[in-house]
A and B are shown apart, each in its own frame.
Chain A
Amino acid sequence: MIAELGLAALWLAAALAALQLVAGAFAQRDGTTELAGLARPAAIIQGVLAAFSFLMLLILFAQTDLSVKLVAMNSHSAKPMIFKLSGAFGNHEGSMLLWITVMALAGALIAAAERRLPERTMMATLAAQAFVGLGFYAFLLFSSNPFERLPQPAMEGMGLNPLLQDIGLVFHPPTLYVGYVGLSVAFSFAVGALLTRQVTPDFARAMRPWVLGAWIFLTLGITAGSYWAYYELGWGGWWFWDPVENASLMPWLAATALLHSASVLAARDALRAWTIMLGVVAFSMSMVGTFLVRSGILTSVHAFAVDPERGTFILVLLSIYIGGALLLFALRAGTVSEGERFSVTSREAALVFNNVMLSAILGIVLLGTLYPLLTEAFDVRVSVGPPYFNPVGAIFVVPMLMVMAVGPLLRWRQDNIVRIRLPMLIAGGAALAVLLLVTVTTNIGILPLLGLALSAGLGIASFMPLRGRKLRLLPLATWGMVIAHFGIAVALFGMASESAFSEETLAAVEVGDQAEIGPWQVVLSEVRPTAGPNWTALEGRLLVSYKGGTSKEIDPQSRNFWAPPQETTESALVTRWNGQLYAVIGREAGDGRWQLRLWWKPFVTMIWYGGILIALGGVLALIGRLFADLKRRAVKLRGAERRGLSVRNVEPRDAGA
């Protein structure tokens, strides 16, 4: 019954999306159709129905209803409850339902909350959102129905991949999905604005909070995903340039560029067409990412079942949406009139420079990710990894970070570089000092060296915009920028330090023996069997002490899951303020000795603290923008009351087609 309710809700939601498309499309043409009143409610009800449908799937998984195919394939009655629930989206169909649910909720939120856009652009936006949504409803209902019943209920479920049975999976995919799909709003806004040719600073102000929201979730999702891969895969790395990681990085790069170009549009009425373009590209990258993962075209730990039919379906959807939006852009961009001018030394110019650098990095990541597909067409198999991504990316990251340190100090429109020579000298001096100090005292690679120097310079420069300002009067959005930029410096420091100063050792030790790694002594005191709800394990008891201090116990495991049968290595970590000890236990060498792999990674945690700071900066900026908008609206309201008019009439009515 629950499965049928969920499916019915999904069909109804799809029907409402169709209604929303028709109503929005007619309303955006003449603005006065009676249908216009239907678009907003349709969007809201559609959101509620999709959420209801997803809730039904969660209930099915919570009850482990084995008559439902998806549950039988991906769950198991012996799993802990939290992993039963997270298992609902740890598979293809469930994750697509989550995707469409987030998308419908985002649409409902615009319909309910967005009041700044001109009515016609709003209608076009809702229509575009519904149009994109319909494709994914069709995909879900026709080729990946999550509520399909089995002719005979299964006796027991097949279980969930143990690598995915981790607290990280409970939060990581939904966070990332909110980010991915949140960008659909930017896409719909961009298409809406192209349709009605209304690309104005007000449009940018309306779009910015949505982009910011999606970007915050993407940032958190990527940060969490990186930490998950770091401790769960047991290889000691935090970024593998895996296609799926790239798939989450690419929308982030595009959204970061979009965020900054929208700021230029909002503040200075420049970069109109470019902002629209980025709005289209950001969500396109989300969809390309989904396509790469779901189609199984690229091998990855994240890939679900390979199914060519689904791959083709998504490919067709992608070409319709991305191709259509780009075609619309090509037809309309020329008619979007030019924005304001600015000088070569101005904040706009710095932002433009960084936008171009971000786009170049995006292009490099995209090419590197797709290259194996390209060569496969010629029957040559290659894999592209850090030797490509790191140096080629750095060529554009380094100048971008340098300009990023200076940009916020420049004035809009036109400025003189001599005016900001003092902060530039301080930041540049700090970077140079670190560069010299590190070169003299150690011998590390060029990239980590540059990373350390730049993180010092950028870290100091990121606080420079506060100089000479009254901190209490500073807008929250400016605080947000300062903290996010500082977060970049912190993360960069962690990456550079991890890559430059990590120590690694691989040893075979007998019980009672000691191994050393960096400043740590590690004693293997015992190896014992242990068990969990759906696994058994061999657990090594390690007594570790930092520079001879009091010792602490950690327990890395080698786990055996029985449903499905699989082994995983569970790393054990000791976190100090200045880094992490990372321990993995392997097999018995055959003569009573056990393999231990140990890493000492100085300041590695800064990578993820930096990510959190970046997201925090986004949250502050979002709150600041929303409050500013509310205030502006209240002022407008008061002004309108004084004139004895209702607010509705004061809102800019569209002058007509």
Chain B
Amino acid sequence: MITGLKPKHQRLILVLIALIALIGAGLLAASALRNQASYFYVPTQMAEKPPAPGQAVRLGGMVQEGSLQTLADGVTTTFVVGDGEATVPVRFAGILPDLFVEGSGVVAEGRLDAGGTFVADNLLAKHDENYVPRELQEMTEHQKNQVVAETEIGA
């Protein structure tokens, strides 16, 4: 209550309460970030050390030539994402993003199912010819060349 407290003390108490709340928020955020952030995988990493089935992650790579198929329901698409060393089959139900084509880079948000297929909730393909998903920019030149070589042989 208002009695007995000197202004200085009241200010001190306010500052303490604010600090405790903010530090609490910080700790909470830090632990939540560790659990809730979704990690980025390329197919090689996913083959070597797969995430737990059902955990939200992102998968980035090149859509393999000749792998794109539409299932009988007309809305589910399957394709294979590779990085030149490993490949992961992907299933996606939805309208494919603009300019999503075989041979282009893609980042898929979703999770692995028990059978090793990546079920994508969302696909981030390049929006225009200048845009490459950020994670793919750093795919090594070597990997890219391999992807290109493979797709050329396949074509």
Known: A344-B1, A364-B29. A356 touches B7 (CB 8 A): no
Choice from B21, B32, B95, B130 contacting A587 with Cβ under 8 Å: B95
Residue among B29, B38, B70, B96 with the most chain A CB within 10 A?
B29
Q: Which residues of B contact A (CB under 8 A)?
A: 1-2, 5, 7-8, 10-11, 14, 17-18, 21-22, 24-26, 28-30, 32-33, 36-40, 56, 58, 70, 73-75, 93-96, 98-99, 109, 122, 127-130, 133-135
Task: Check if A530 is an interface residue, CB within 8 A of chain B.
Answer: no
Closest B residue, CB atoms, query A390: B36
Cα(A343)–Cα(B74), bound, Å: 66
Cβ–Cβ contact A367 & B14, under 8 A: no
Contacts of A508 in B (CB 8 A): 73-75
Closest B residue, CB atoms, query A375: B37
How distant is B41 from chain A, measured CB to nearest CB, in Å? 9
Cβ–Cβ contact A363 & B40, under 8 A: no
Cα(A192)–Cα(B128), bound, Å: 46
Cβ–Cβ contact A341 & B2, under 8 A: yes
Q: How many A-B residue pairs have CB under 8 A?
A: 132
Task: Check if A565 is an interface residue, CB within 8 A of chain B.
Answer: yes
Known: A591-B74, A593-B74, A597-B95. A356 touches B21 (CB 8 A): yes
Contacts of A301 in B (CB 8 A): 127
Cα(A586)–Cα(B70), bound, Å: 13
Contacts of B7 in A (CB 8 A): 338-341
Closest B residue, CB atoms, query A339: B7
Cα(A368)–Cα(B5), bound, Å: 38
Cβ–Cβ contact B38 & A564, under 8 A: no
For the complex of A and B, the 3 pairs showing the least CB-CB separation, nearest first, are A508-B74, A586-B95, A567-B98
Cβ–Cβ contact A342 & B38, under 8 A: no
How distant is B120 from chain A, measured CB to nearest CB, in Å? 13
A sample of 14 inter-chain contacts (CB < 8 A) reads A163-B127, A235-B122, A340-B7, A341-B5, A356-B18, A356-B21, A359-B18, A363-B22, A367-B29, A382-B37, A414-B2, A508-B75, A564-B130, A589-B75
Known: A338-B7, A341-B5, A356-B17. A566 touches B33 (CB 8 A): no
How distant is A100 from chain B, measured CB to nearest CB, in Å? 27
Choice from B11, B32, B58 contacting A388 with Cβ under 8 Å: B32
Cβ–Cβ contact B22 & A360, under 8 A: yes
Cα(A536)–Cα(B40), bound, Å: 36
The segment out of A205-213, A391-399, A462-470 that lies at the interface is: A391-399
Known: A387-B56, A508-B74. A343 touches B1 (CB 8 A): yes
How distant is A333 from chain B, measured CB to nearest CB, in Å? 11
Contacts of B26 in A (CB 8 A): 363, 367
Cβ–Cβ contact B25 & A590, under 8 A: no
Contacts of A371 in B (CB 8 A): 33, 37
Cβ–Cβ contact B75 & A507, under 8 A: yes
Cα(A49)–Cα(B132), bound, Å: 39
Q: Give 11 new A-B contacts, CB below 8 A, not counting A383-B37, A392-B36.
A: A356-B17, A356-B22, A382-B37, A382-B39, A392-B29, A395-B28, A506-B95, A566-B127, A569-B98, A586-B96, A587-B95
How distant is B39 from chain A, measured CB to nearest CB, in Å? 5
Cβ–Cβ contact A590 & B22, under 8 A: no
Cβ–Cβ contact B33 & A384, under 8 A: yes
Contacts of B134 in A (CB 8 A): 299
Cβ–Cβ contact B75 & A368, under 8 A: no
Contacts of B122 in A (CB 8 A): 235
Contacts of A506 in B (CB 8 A): 75, 93-95
> Interface on chain A toward B: helix, strand, loop, or mixed SS?
mixed
Cα(A361)–Cα(B28), bound, Å: 11
Cβ–Cβ contact B1 & A384, under 8 A: no
Cβ–Cβ contact B21 & A360, under 8 A: yes
Cβ–Cβ contact A589 & B74, under 8 A: yes
Contacts of A387 in B (CB 8 A): 36, 38, 56
Contacts of A356 in B (CB 8 A): 17-18, 21-22
Residue among B11, B14, B25 with the most chain A CB within 10 A?
B25
Residue among A235, A383, A414, A584 with the most chain B CB within 10 A?
A383
Residue among B18, B38, B99, B134 with the most chain A CB within 10 A?
B134
Contacts of A414 in B (CB 8 A): 1-2
Closest A residue, CB atoms, query B56: A387
Contacts of B56 in A (CB 8 A): 387
Task: Check if A440 is an interface residue, CB within 8 A of chain B.
Answer: no
Closest B residue, CB atoms, query A355: B18
Residue among B11, B39, B130 with the most chain A CB within 10 A?
B11
Known: A382-B40, A383-B58. A341 touches B10 (CB 8 A): yes
Closest A residue, CB atoms, query B20: A356
Cβ–Cβ contact A343 & B2, under 8 A: yes
Cα(A597)–Cα(B70), bound, Å: 16
Cβ–Cβ contact A364 & B25, under 8 A: yes
Cα(A565)–Cα(B130), bound, Å: 10
Contacts of B8 in A (CB 8 A): 338
Cβ–Cβ contact B28 & A392, under 8 A: yes
How distant is A35 from chain B, measured CB to nearest CB, in Å? 38
Cβ–Cβ contact B70 & A590, under 8 A: yes
Contacts of A360 in B (CB 8 A): 21-22, 24-25
Cα(A595)–Cα(B133), bound, Å: 25
Task: Check if A381 is an interface residue, CB within 8 A of chain B.
Answer: yes
Task: Check if A413 is an interface residue, CB within 8 A of chain B.
Answer: yes
Task: Check if A521 is an interface residue, CB within 8 A of chain B.
Answer: no
Q: A236-262 interface mask toward B, CB cutoff 8 Å, 1 = contact, 0 = none?
A: 000000000000000000000000000
Cα(A395)–Cα(B27), bound, Å: 13
Contacts of B73 in A (CB 8 A): 508
Cα(A341)–Cα(B4), bound, Å: 11
Closest A residue, CB atoms, query B25: A360
Cα(A342)–Cα(B13), bound, Å: 12
Cβ–Cβ contact A388 & B33, under 8 A: yes
Cβ–Cβ contact B25 & A388, under 8 A: no
Known: A568-B98, A584-B95, A591-B74. A381 touches B40 (CB 8 A): yes
Closest B residue, CB atoms, query A357: B21
Cα(A371)–Cα(B29), bound, Å: 10
